[in-house]
Structure 1
Amino acid sequence: MPIPKLMCIAGARPNFVKIAPILKVLETSQSSLMLQFIHTGQHYDSDLDASFFASLEIRQPDENLEVHSGTHAEQTALIMQRFEPIIERYQPDAVLVVGDVNSTLACSLVAVKKAIPVIHVEAGLRSFDDSMPEEINRKLTDQITALHFITEQSAKEHLLKEGISPAKIHFVGNVMIDSLFSFLPKVKTASEIINENGLSAAVLAKHYGIVTLHRPSNVDDKAVFENILTALQTVSQDLPLIFPMHPRTQQKIKQFRLESYFNKQNLIYTKPLNYLEILGLMKTAKLVFTDSGGIQEETSVLKVPCLTLRENTERPITLEKGSNHLVGINPQNIIKMARQLLEHPKQMIHTPPLWDGKAAHRIAEILVPWMHEVASSKKEQKVA
């Protein structure tokens, strides 16, 4: 019996958080799979890559495509161009992708054109906003996926409406929450993280909030970005805000000359922080402001109020059961909701179903026998 070969793809830092528990379970269990781990280099900061691998206890990838930045078309095309020889060299029986970044779609397209089945973890999420590149990546990837692992029931409804067979859809929970539960006991206290990063001691005296922004719709338009910063600066008078800066966001602040919005007392700009540092700060934050999908999920489990600075979300379960609030980008709405949550924190926050830290195990239980069937079928076809 041949040993099935599974190729796992990560392209951006949130992908590492999702892929880490899957690799861990498949590498430590009696899964009898041969694993190949490919990093496309879509997010390419060497220091951040190293810190994410270390903090998430991920082994070094077998290959790094070093794609780096570019337009969506340039990046997607270059990933496909560099991934095809990797497929030829390793000859995997299936390719596993996570999330909704350009690497997810690009590698899926290459695989399916080579008649290699695709497995999509975090399938079926929909914002219904086709102006978001991630939405296009999600929808197209799901149409060519052989096995869909979903995080919430709404994803199943979307996939069924799009003509996906129920037999291909498996509700397993959320692997990002697997990572959260796994690493939460290892995080430092907020005080330690603040001191190590040279932040103001006044932050702890008055409590603090966290800000993460990186989406092009928020940071690439100067007027939009400035409106958001105006709202954050106002909120920071009541609650100091720590703003770990994504490299893209940092570039836009310099380009638009928006440095004046930051000062040492209130809206506090810091270098990018690693996964464990962000987790440690979020754990005891009073509020979190974000445009990140993953942080909407993590704050819901941590029961920390989250204000999502977008007009839509592909993760409605975080609104229904979690601590997430969709506030858009209007400054007055952001300020109003922030003050409301500070005065009257939301009660009765429930953890969404199957967000229990065991999603990767459920994936393995389904994936391993499925992989053996795929490998056996391929062998029979060759013999025939």
Structure 2
Amino acid sequence: MKKIVSIVGARPQFIKAAAFSRAVAKDGGVQEVMVHTGQHYDTQMSASFFKELEIPTPAYHLGIGGLSHGAMTGRMLERIEEVLVKEKPDFTLIYGDTDSTLAGALASAKLHIPIAHVEAGLRSFNPKMPEEINRILSDRISKFLFVPSQNAYDNLVKEGFLGFDCALLKVGDIMLDVALHYQKMAKKPTIALPKHFILCTLHRAENTDDLQRMQEILEGLNTISKEVLVCVPLHPRTRNVLEKNSFKVENLRFMEALSYLEMVWVLQHCQMVITDSGGLQKEAYFFKKPCMTLRDETEWVELVECGVNVLVGANRDKILDGFKKIADMDMEFEKNLYGNGDASKKILQTLKGF
């Protein structure tokens, strides 16, 4: 029986891991050992997700979080290596582009354990983003690159991966597996919401740590919220910045962080999404909602190209122009950009058959 060690540590990885673990439980023939690095370590961002999404309890909880990128990656590398030496897996499965992803990849490569990277090939082409460095390095040392989209596949081809000792496999987006599975299990949040509202998430350090960008974003959101209420579930980093600074936010509705199933309900019922998240841009597409992205670039360029996502950066005027543009757009959500919702099954079958 093949043994797979899955490395998770951040909220999006919990959600992706749920789909793969469910495929393992249904199919059998593979032993999965889950390692939770602790990168997101509070209850809202970690333990509650394992319970709500019925993810198996991790075999290892490393408890490493709240540190600088260097310190966190270094400690994770050391601890993950210890787990891999003990477990002797056939593969290490990594997700996305976090410090947990890179640490899992490096530890496995040095022990000559084949790495399977879910969500390979994404590029923002912004080297200042820690996630960009993590994903590039993880891709380069992975044996199996499970690609979510044609654009991601093309990125790897342009970088010469067809000449490397690895397999490029366009399996679709595992987040579509998740969305399809949980859409009927959505939970209405306890907070009262109007019939018409906009969902906004704001958490990236490039925005929250730059007070000028935050000021511009909040001014734009404040103006939009005079027309349609903007509801903002608060990430801990964002809450901290708001508490320490005097921003003008009287028109916005701030909320406690939502569980994943509550987020699904909000996605189903909102008019549109405004976000600086990567994953939420795709989830907006899955639930047929227009999206405005508070970043200067996105890994999901196909969403911009097909006209369902508008990049506005952190400029107040661009945010307001983007809002008006979306209101006038006739959007098409039927293109098969991310597969058929069976990515986890394809990933499992590939690893079983190797």
Please give the TM-score of this superposition, normalised by the length of structure 2.
0.95
The number of residues matched between the two structures is 352
The match for 2:292 is: 307
Whether contact under 8 Å (2:153, 2:168) holds in the other structure is yes
2:16 counterpart of 1:18 = yes
In the alignment, which of 203, 224, 234 is matched to residue 245 of structure 1?
234
Cα offset, 1:349, TM superposition: 2.6
Equivalent residue for 2:326, pick from 333, 341, 347: 341
Deviation at 1:350, TM superposition (A): 2.6
The DSSP-based 3-state class of the residue aligned with 2:66 is coil
Identity of aligned residues (%): 36
Deviation at 1:354, TM superposition (A): 4.4
Please name the residue that 2:74 is paired with: 77
Per the TM alignment, residue 132 of structure 1 is displaced from its structure 2 partner at its CA by: 0.6
Equivalent position of 1:224 in the other structure: 213
Verify the 8 A CA contact 2:145 2:169 in the aligned structure 1. Answer: yes
Give, as a single letter, the amino acid of the residue that structure 2 aligns with 1:349: F
Q: CA deviation at 1:106?
A: 0.9
Distance 1:243 1:269 in 2: 5
Distance 1:362 1:322 in 2: 29
Q: Distance in 2 between matches of 1:324 and 1:311?
A: 12
SS of residue matched to 2:145: strand
Partner SS, residue 304 of structure 2: helix
Corresponding position of 2:271: 286
Report the Cα offset of residue 11 of structure 1. 1.1
Structure 2 counterparts to residues 103-252 of structure 1, below 5 A: 103-165=100-162, 168-188=167-187, 192-193=188-189, 196-197=190-191, 199=192, 203-204=194-195, 207-252=196-241
Deviating above 4 A after TM superposition, structure 1's stretches of 4 or more consecutive aligned residues are none
Contact kept? 1:211, 1:241, Cα under 8 Å: yes
Of 340, 349, 352, 1:365 maps to 349
User: Could you tell me which residue of structure 1 aligns to residue 339 of structure 2?
Assistant: 355
Q: Secondary structure at the match of 1:5?
A: strand
SS of 1:288's partner is: strand
3-state SS, counterpart of residue 94 of structure 2: strand
Q: Contact conserved, 2:308 with 2:332, CA < 8 A, in 1?
A: no
- CA–CA distance in 2 between the matches of 1:311 and 1:12? 23
Deviation at 1:46, TM superposition (A): 2.2
Deviation of 1:357 (Å) = 1.5
SS of 1:269 mapped into structure 2: strand
Change (3 A) 1:301 1:321: farther
**Structure 1 residues without counterparts, runs of 5 or longer:** 371-384
Greater fraction helix: 1
Q: How does 1:47-58 map to 2 (within 5 A)?
A: 47-58=44-55
Give 1 or 2 for the bigger CA radius of gyration: 1
Query: How high is the TM-score relative to the length of structure 1?
Result: 0.88
When residues 333 and 350 of structure 1 are mapped into structure 2, their CA distance, relative to the original with a 3 A threshold, is same
Report deviation, 1:59.
1.4
Amino acid at match of 1:226: Q
Correspondences of 1:312-323 after superposition (within 5 Å): 312-321=297-306, 323=308
User: 1:123 corresponds to which letter in structure 2?
Assistant: A
Q: How much does 1:85 deviate?
A: 1.2
**Contact between 1:125 and 1:155, CA under 8 Å: does it hold in 2?**
yes
Paired amino acid for 1:348:
E
For 1:173-229, what per-residue CA distance to the aligned partner results, in whole angstroms no more than 9, with x for missing partners? 0001110000001113xxx42xx12x3x5x33xx10011011110101111111101
The Cα shift of 1:323 comes to: 2.0
Kindly tell me: are residues 310 and 47 of structure 1, through their superposed partners in 2, closer, same or farther at Cα, counting changes over 3 Å?
Answer: closer
Deviations 1:130-188 (A, max 9, x none): 01110000100011000000011111221122221376100000001110000001113
Partners of 2:21 and 2:56 within 8 A in 1: no
- Kindly state the Cα deviation for residue 339 of structure 1 after the two structures are TM-superposed: 2.6
Which letter maps to 1:11? Answer: G
CA contact (8 A) 1:303 1:322 kept: no
Do the aligned partners of 2:198 and 2:229 also contact (CA within 8 Å) in 1?
A: yes
Structure-1 residue corresponding to 2:5: 7
For the residues of structure 2 that align with 1:352 and 1:334, how far apart are their CA atoms?
28
Deviation at 1:251, TM superposition (A): 1.2
User: Equivalences for 1:53-72 in 2 at 5 Å?
Assistant: 53-72=50-69
Give 1:171's aligned amino acid.
K
Over aligned residue pairs, what C-alpha RMSD do you find?
Answer: 1.5
What is the deviation of 1:364?
1.8
CA–CA distance in structure 1, aligned partners of residues 343 and 330 of structure 2: 27
CA contact (8 A) 1:322 1:352 kept: no
Q: CA deviation at 1:356?
A: 2.2
